[in-house]
Chains A and B, each alone.
Chain A
Amino acid sequence: QLQLQESGPGLVKPSETLSLTCTVSGDSISRISSYWGWIRQSPGEGLEWIGSIYSGGSTYYTYYSPSLKTRVTISLDTAKNEFYLRLRSVTAADTAVYYCARHQWEPKVSHLDPWGQGTLVNVSS
């Protein structure tokens, strides 16, 4: 059974970089040709897609939310079965629960399942 788990600092200072890791268990990222995504949810708000990365052997593609793409980098390490989120120059508006998920993305199809448990990141000095 595929499981995902986010990890990283729960507190980041304004203007610094938020860095999170998603550890995948139950199968190998390198074996599964799939997208892997990051989503966030501000307190009391809806879901916001941050971006996704595709791993297909030695080929990687990344797609980012237009509103965040100037500050976001998503990467992947198949040897560690992990993928990563880096969000630069954070402000209080980036305070949210951050989720990672497997992203099924094919022509006309897009859905995220399963999701990690989420990790709350507070941006505060």
Chain B
Amino acid sequence: SYELTQPHSVSVSPGQTATITCSGDNLGDRYACWYQQKPGQIPVLVIYKDTKRPAGIPERFSGSNSGNTATLTISGTQALDEADYFCQTWDSSTVVFGGGTKLTVL
């Protein structure tokens, strides 16, 4: 079965750039998306179709996807960006989530 691998945790200082990766076989051949989930809250779509931001998502969130890796980049990271981030794609009529990355802003 298809798998997506994310780092368990990423730390970043306020104002710096956070980079979260998501790896899977030939992931770049399909679209990836990203969800943000803050403690006690529901997942929110922040990036879809690799690079697109839904309405209301700040411009500091961006995405890319090439080869075997999709990347979520948060520029000028703020304390309120501290959350779990999950990547997602699909394979063989199955939706696949990455295991999630805890972003700590400190």
Query: Are B49 and A109 within 8 A (Cβ)?
Result: yes
Nearest CB of B to A52, in Å? 7
Residues of chain B in range 9-45 having any CB-CB distance to chain A below 8 Å: 29-31, 33, 35, 42-45
Interface size class of A (residues with CB under 8 A): 20 to 34
- B76 at interface by CB-CB < 8 Å: no
User: In the complex, which of the residues A49, A65, A111 has the most CB atoms of chain B within 10 Å of its own CB atom?
Assistant: A111
The count of residues in chain B whose C-beta lies closer than 8 Å to any C-beta of chain A is 25
Q: What are 11 A-B residue pairs whose CB atoms fall within 8 Å in the complex?
A: A47-B97, A49-B95, A65-B94, A103-B95, A108-B30, A109-B48, A110-B90, A112-B43, A112-B95, A113-B54, A114-B45
B residues contacting A by CB (< 8 A) are 1, 29-31, 33, 35, 42-45, 48-49, 54, 86, 88-90, 93-100
A residues contacting B by CB (< 8 A) are 37, 46-49, 52, 63, 65-66, 99, 103-105, 108-118
